[in-house]
Structure 1
């Protein structure tokens, strides 16, 4: 499998929102990209506003929602406990086989995790184990505000400890009235949102690949991301 693994510094940071729109962007740039979200919780199976429905609709994919998301559970719990609450278990090999079948239909994939990178999927497997097995470069979705430097660097270090390559970070959901500091010499009366991208790059040695405002009406994210870098990172895997 080739592509990106999409994780977040926390739950509800906009992983699904970004993943759907990144896939749409890549497909519009002649890259045959699919999406696999191995498991989701917090939605009834047929909910029209579920993650898998959003992924299919925004990314304009022909794949069925059952292909895009292998397993879905209603309880808002970790996948491991959400499955347990329904008297079910998640079989790891079956889950991975499902992803492989979908990946065979596309040149590359965006694999979206659930919650953060240390979320339990089974009794002995976490989201990090999924990322390690797939061994894809990781894009981290981070909140824009106070506390995100700590959350981002902890996520980066945890991924590195497990031997994973980090493609970069997306700062998602900022108030679009903000300007961003471009150098330390500019920092005077700046807010945390304005300075966090600069400081994350400085202390983590990782690149910010995009800064996206909080606006659910945005479908085309090309003005808010490093378009050339993201396309090149994907093409480097495909060529």
Structure 2
């Protein structure tokens, strides 16, 4: 893998799909292999405290991996997550709503220039920067700018997170069309279980159908895991596939 200032955007077909979990597991996977990986989320809404829940989730995943696995000579130590909040999550709003509305409720507006500046700063500090989206792909950051249009402007290779169960084929294929319409490089799709045990027939066929009709790589399916360590283990083959795609 060429480790010089790569970025990957982790988008989703909808809100609550599992992109925070996938983002955190990917950062942890890369760090566990000696890659200086970082995390950034341009906008977080529904923030009850100063630190967004998404950032805390990523922190917990990193700390769980660090405490469970001795760090060998080939792997970078994973310290407790102490990212600078303004760099990691530039905009934080209380209202759990679309970014444009959450900002307006506080008398504020998201400045795309600030987001691009924070992105450049974080990218320069890491070999691989994982940028998590907010909601689905076509969420408005402002009333003039969609999230996906900023991703297109920055030319970020995108990993799409989708649900495993019923309804995901439509949502995923529509999201793939939106990405391709903007000529955004697509790494592939990861499916995440939205329930503990989704019907096996539907889930397995969904992955195959998305790969075939969506003309894309499906890196795998992440099951619901109660423990962080189990999630890391289940994600390992998915992470290996994503890392290989980044290297090409």
TM-score (norm 2): 0.84
Deviations 1:89-143 (A, max 9, x none): 1111012101211111111111111001100001211111121122121111101
- TM-superposed deviation, 1:194: 2.6
2:246 is the alignment partner of 1:234: yes
Q: CA 1:42/1:178 → structure 2, altered by over 3 Å: closer, same or farther?
A: closer
Contact 2:165–2:193 (Cα < 8 Å) also in 1: no
2:86 is the alignment partner of 1:66: yes
2:66 is the alignment partner of 1:54: no
- TM-superposed deviation, 1:54: 1.8
- TM-superposed deviation, 1:53: 2.0
Q: CA 1:93/1:176 → structure 2, altered by over 3 Å: closer, same or farther?
A: same
- 1:221 aligns with one of 219, 223, 232: 232
Which consecutive residues of structure 1, in runs of 5 or more, have no partner in the other structure?
181-189
Q: Give the match for residue 215 of structure 2.
A: 205
- SS where residue 134 of structure 2 aligns? strand
Separation of aligned partners in 2, 1:2 and 1:94: 20
Contact 1:138–1:165 (Cα < 8 Å) also in 2: yes
Contact 2:36–2:128 (Cα < 8 Å) also in 1: yes
- TM-superposed deviation, 1:30: 1.1
Q: Give the match for residue 174 of structure 2.
A: 154
Q: Give the match for residue 187 of structure 1.
A: none
Deviations 1:38-84 (A, max 9, x none): 0010112425x611222234235442233211111010111111000
Contact 1:6–1:140 (Cα < 8 Å) also in 2: yes
Separation of aligned partners in 2, 1:170 and 1:226: 8
Separation of aligned partners in 2, 1:65 and 1:53: 11
Which consecutive residues of structure 2, in runs of 5 or more, have no partner in the other structure?
63-79
Contact 1:33–1:108 (Cα < 8 Å) also in 2: yes
Question: In the comparison of the two structures, how many residue pairs are matched?
Answer: 225
Contact 2:35–2:127 (Cα < 8 Å) also in 1: yes
RMSD: 2.0
- 2:110 aligns with one of 65, 79, 90: 90
- 2:10 aligns with one of 2, 6, 16: 6
Separation of aligned partners in 2, 1:67 and 1:56: 15
Contact 1:5–1:113 (Cα < 8 Å) also in 2: yes
Contact 2:165–2:198 (Cα < 8 Å) also in 1: no
Separation of aligned partners in 1, 2:192 and 2:247: 24
Q: Give the match for residue 184 of structure 1.
A: none
Separation of aligned partners in 2, 1:82 and 1:140: 24
Q: Which has the higher strand share?
A: 1
